[in-house]
Chains A and B, each alone.
Chain A
Amino acid sequence: MLKTLLEAFALISTWEVIVAMFAASVYGLVIGSLPGLSATMATALLVPVTFYLSPIAAIATIVAASSMAIFSGDIPGALLRIPGTPASAAYADEAYAMTRKGEAELALGAGVWFSAVGGIAGTLSLMILAPPLAEIALSFSTFEYFWLAFLGLMCATLVARSSPVKAIAGMFIGLLVSCVGIENPGGVPRFTFGITDLFGGIEPIPALVGVFAVAQVMRAMLTPEPPPIPRRKFGSIMAGQWRLTKKYHWQMTRGNIVGIIIGVLPGAGADMAAWVSYAMSKRFSKEPEKFGTGHVEGLVEAGASNNASIASGWVPSLLFGIPGDTIAAIAIGVLYMKGLNPGPTLFTEKASSMYAIYLMFIIANLLMIPLGIAAIKSAKQMLRAPRELLLPVILLFCIVGSFAINNSLFGVVLMLVFGVVGYFMEENGFPIAPAILGMVLGAMLEENFISSMIKADGRLAAFFERPIAGSLGVLTIAVLAVPLVRRAMR
């Protein structure tokens, strides 16, 4: 244990990792704070850069950028009432109301402080949950993996904040994408239309860059420029945060726990965590009438929640390759690229790398406090970053990044197609997360289903015969049945 920890320290205390982490933090803060550019987009655009970094430095950039971006989305939320990332949307109104009451420092300070606390709580959950789960997962066979992938897809569709039919349709679209290629049980070219570039299947990274970056640029072409921030001199950012921590420690803990649970659920990420926690905070508050008028309580709980979900989203990603949210879906792509294939053996064979990931999460969340304060103080300059300069450069980054995956223009074509598809899906109310999960989990679902069927000689009952597989199967069916039963009861 101690030896692994020391090894982990050695892994992260190289110049490459330190510089990568710092640069990614600043980058994440800037992208996250710009309205319309989300944390997921920040992560997707980092991928081409991670090709050229060592595995640990590559993960460091993702950890740092995603944690920072989720916090910095609070800045324009509080100052302009425009959330910088979807994860801040739940409480942007509340934070802005506080700013109007002259409490901008308190609102933004709570954003930094409880984000950092939440991030560390999420990291602790990752440290505590993942290794014992890995022990159990070592005995998993194809039956269990089939159910896990299936359960993951069901969760992703059920938690989507949209029409369930559209969420399921989104999942099917993702699954359909995963069918492409010759990596299927028959080894026959499937939906490749004679294009050799498609034989290996759809490369996930250009597709993700398309869905999250190109589609965002397309949307930004239509959104008006955010208004300038009124001139303001900030007082002390951290003053009063300790008092808040003591006063609202129960709300903070509840936010952490809810965030951790939602992060672990596949497909539900930071934005869902913030919405649920804000609603819970209001529901259980002693003074619910103050919500919406600039009351800090909901901010504490939701801020603690969305950052907790970022770290805990890595639990299913590292263990099973099932992304806890869209950022983790990108992280999984990077893990595969770096030879750190997700699976329970990561925790036994590459334990020092896992410890390095925990340490990086903790460092990123500690770094968030000074960098976050600096970002708040320079919010006026940062938010003025002109979009007409930024978006063209982002577009070039997309091109070079998707080209660099295989050094082929086909990556650019894929990105372009997925960008358009992602844009139209989101414009028409089809949630993106289930589609991404379908795309990432499709192969896993099919492979394990077919291997299981061969093992069981075509008997479907075999899917319920092993104890863990049976429980997972029953759980999946329960997850599916609950909303239907509730509907029927009404």
Chain B
Amino acid sequence: MRLPDRVTGLFLVGLGAAAAYGGWLLPPVPGQPVGPNVFPLVIGTGLALCGLAIAFGIGHSFEEEEELIPVEGGQPTPPTGKFYGLRALLPPALLLFYVVVADRLGFIITAALIVYVTSTALGARWKLSLPLAVLAPIGIHLIFSKLLRVPLPPGLLPMPW
């Protein structure tokens, strides 16, 4: 998802200003030449200036456009539907899902759902994604919970080991 430089630049101006303001609010340490407020102030100001420069297109000429390397027999062209770009947001959405429900449902069930959805989204048929969704969480649970003693949440389906 490529946003216009104007948008990213202005976002950085906002972020920088917020950081500088946040730094400015921090109390200085008495008797010390520089306190905890100096770094955020400097960084925030710098970030805001960079954001301005980006928004006005300074330094844009240095960017190299990524070349698509053609392959013999033609590159498979990605489908360019309106919502195709949103597919990239699927992994973070699934991670968020894990954070929210893992303690209640437990590792095995949550992980199985994540695996099933991801592999289906990548084009696997259910004959492939279903066994994977069952086996992968159990395998990883075995390694991390049994061998490496990571306390993965048991939830509804505790494993016998």
Which residues does chain B contribute within 8 Å of A93, judged by CB atoms?
Answer: 69
Contact, CB under 8 Å: A169 / B12: yes
The A413-432 residues at the B interface (CB cut-off 8 A) are 413, 415-416, 419-420, 423-424, 427-430
Which residues does chain B contribute within 8 Å of A428, judged by CB atoms?
Answer: 2-3, 5, 8
Which residues does chain B contribute within 8 Å of A49, judged by CB atoms?
Answer: 148
A188 to B: closest C-beta gap in Å: 6
The verdict on B160 contacting chain A, using a C-beta distance below 8 Å, is: no
Contacts A393-B136, A412-B99, A446-B39 given; indicate if A168 touches B50 (C-beta within 8 A).
yes
Binds B, one of A63-71, A140-148, A222-230, A289-297: A222-230
Give bound CA distance, A100 to B71, whole Å: 11
Question: Which among A186, A393, A409, A416 is the interface contact of B92 at CB below 8 angstroms?
Answer: A416
Contact, CB under 8 Å: A397 / B36: no
The verdict on A46 contacting chain B, using a C-beta distance below 8 Å, is: no
Q: State how many residues of chain A have any CB contact under 8 Å with chain B.
A: 77
Question: Which among A166, A179, A386 is the interface contact of B124 at CB below 8 angstroms?
Answer: A386
Give bound CA distance, A82 to B72, whole Å: 11
Interface of A, secondary structure class, is helix
The verdict on B26 contacting chain A, using a C-beta distance below 8 Å, is: yes
Question: Which among B16, B50, B62, B99 is the interface contact of A413 at CB below 8 angstroms?
Answer: B99
Contacts A164-B59, A165-B53, A221-B121 given; indicate if A92 touches B88 (C-beta within 8 A).
no
The B76-115 residues at the A interface (CB cut-off 8 A) are 76-78, 84-85, 87-92, 94-96, 98-99, 102-103, 111, 114-115
Pairs across A and B, CB under 8 Å, 24 listed:
A48-B144, A49-B148, A164-B62, A165-B53, A165-B54, A176-B43, A179-B19, A179-B23, A179-B40, A190-B40, A221-B87, A224-B76, A227-B76, A388-B119, A392-B132, A392-B136, A396-B114, A415-B95, A423-B88, A428-B2, A428-B8, A430-B8, A449-B34, A454-B33
Sorted from nearest, which 7 A-B pairs have the closest CB atoms?
A458-B33, A186-B36, A165-B59, A388-B124, A169-B50, A388-B122, A163-B59
Q: Which residues of A contact B (CB under 8 A)?
A: 48-49, 51-52, 80-82, 92-93, 100, 161-166, 168-169, 172-173, 175-176, 179, 184-188, 190-191, 214, 217-219, 221-225, 227, 386-389, 391-393, 395-400, 403-404, 407, 409, 412-413, 415-416, 419-420, 423-424, 427-430, 442, 446, 449-450, 453-454, 457-458
